[in-house]
Amino acid sequence: MLKIFIFLNLFFFLLIPSKSFAADAEIGSAYSDTGFQLVQPGPVWTDEKTAYLFFNNSGQYLAYRKTTDGGLSWSTEVLISFGLVRQVGIWFDQWTPGITGSTIHVAYLDTRSTSKGIKYRSLNTKSDSLGPERFVYQTVGFDTVSSDFAGGVISITRARGGNIYIAGATNRSGDYGFWRSIDGGTMWGQRANVFDGQFFSGVSPVWLEPGNEEDDQDIWGFTWSRATGQIALQAYDNSKNLWTETPLASDMTTTPAVYQMAAATRHSDNHAIVAAWSDFNTSSADLKIWDVGGKDDIVAKSNVLSDTKNAAGVSVFINQQNNDLYIAYLVGTSWGSLERAWYKKSDNGGEAWGPDIVLGEQEQDFKGIWAGAGVGKYGGKFMPIWFNDTTDLFLTNISNAVAISLPSPIPSPSPTPSPTPEPTPIPTPAPTPTPSPATAEQLQKQISELQALVAKLQDQLRLLQQSSPQEFARSMSFGTRDAEVSRLQQFLATLPGIYSEGLVTGYYGFLTKKAVERFQLQYNIVSSSADLGYGMVGPKTRAKLNELLGAL
């Protein structure tokens, strides 16, 4: 009887489907134990299948790997530098609004005794050809480089106008600075310093972004003072060689153990989305978000996480096709030994966040998580990678990644045809017998008849050329994507001072919302931004739009 009972239990157990997990995948092998010391290593997606990842190998040489099948497999490493590389930062041309190039710009700290300094190298992703390795700054420093971010930081960006900028610092007093190249990375010149110069348990983190200043060669830096705990927007004026500081937050406690800040630029409005942890590995730690449009336009958004222990690391990723925000982070049961990769998504600019979604199926000693800065019109993936500090391996999970396809073309709006007026029949003249030579009076009469006929035909032609504009028939708001939005954008662009950008994308994004807000205020549809329907095309806004259409 007991045997039958055991058999039946085993039989029914086998019938119950087990939960399957997609295993985390290792990306290559033989990485440096300083692999987590990467400010921004990628991945860089150039299309739906192709991506690049930068890292330090086991010899601490800088290298990259490439995938052409969406992350299923990765190439053998391609060496970039034979220096003893520590911190690494990269920037892809297409992470900058308006830049359509195909170059990845790489900045790094070389600690080899014979070649110490900050260096730069470029990678052309069209041909996978590397440019020359160039010194940005040569030094005798870095004599003792620690195993975390106390040893140095680095960040690189490209301005909307094309200049390339690098900010870097080491743990040697006075060994830090900010550099500019105006010729695509060939020559570098030192500029005004972005760092606060205060070294407190390591150098201060910095993150560069293209910015939203009127001068497209100006950029932004986001600094985090370890001495004061303040995160600030540093706006750089290229023509004046001057930084202007505006605080974002105070009492933010960071650590050199892991990079606790990240940012990315939203192309639709040039705003920077900035994320940072308020504390390190405490039960009161919050993962905070800011939407930065300028020194007078800094908005704190809803926390991604609040009061979260055993958490660290952050990456900001933007789907530039629809402005969805993705924030990746590490949370586990014990910091330093058991961490797991997660993310949250917001489809309304950070006003609210979806649930925690697991990226990695393992809990291990993970330090550092990166997703790149975003994906644009060529598609790609939100597929973060993270570093195992025990095995010295990079991991990802293809099954839990989010594929971002090429955007579908938006059809041109088809105007509703107006009824075509029926032309007045033209009388067929009766045959006239061969006349005798006409008198002057008869000729004048014929001319008058012909002139009247021409005038009637011209009136009919004007009627045929007239077409009534199609009215707006339904409401629209942020996130709407269709041909009706394209018509709205086309019309708003014709109104002075309303939609100077004039982009016809078919997507109701931030620029379109701002244009609608200006339209509503100009035509007294709303009295302030607090009014219901502000920034939305509702009944009142539609009525005014259609009224103006009818006056055309």
pLDDT tens-digit profile of 148-176? 566 678 999 999 999 999 998 876 666 78
What CATH number corresponds to the domain at position 523? Answer: 1.10.101
pTM surpassing 0.75?
A: no
435 within domain boundaries: no
Of residues 24 and 384, more confidently modeled: 384
- State which amino acid sits at residue 453: L
Q: What's the burial of 450, exposed, middle or buried (CB within 10 Å: 0-12/13-18/19+)? A: exposed
368 and 490 belong to one structural domain: no
421 within domain boundaries: no
Q: Is the pLDDT of residue 143 over 60?
A: no
Give the single-character DSSP code of 95. Answer: G
3-state secondary structure of 3: helix
DSSP 99-167: ----EEEEEEEE--TTS-EEEEEEEETTTTEE---EEEEE-S--SS--SSGGGEEEEEEE-TTS-EEEE
Last residue of a domain, one of 404, 432, 461: 404
363 and 497 belong to one structural domain: no
| Encoded tokens for 338 | 């058991």
Q: Is the pLDDT of residue 144 over 60?
A: no
pLDDT score of 21: 46
349 within domain boundaries: yes
Residue 78 pLDDT level (bands cut at 50, 70, 90): very high
Alpha-carbon separation of residue 178 from 134, 304, 383 (angstroms): 16, 31, 31
36 within domain boundaries: yes
426 within domain boundaries: no
Neighbours of 396 (CB within 10 A): 25
CA 410/CA 482 separation, integer angstroms: 7
pLDDT score of 151: 66
What CATH number corresponds to the domain at position 141? Answer: 2.120.10.70
Whose CA is closest to 315, among 38, 56, 548? 38
Alpha-carbon separation of residue 427 from 16, 182, 227, 416, 450 (angstroms): 88, 75, 95, 33, 12
3-state secondary structure of 441: helix
| Domain total in the chain | 2
> What mean pLDDT do residues 322-341 have?
92
Task: Please give the residue range of the domain that contains residue 489.
Answer: 483-550
Give me the residue label for tokens 């570093």: 387
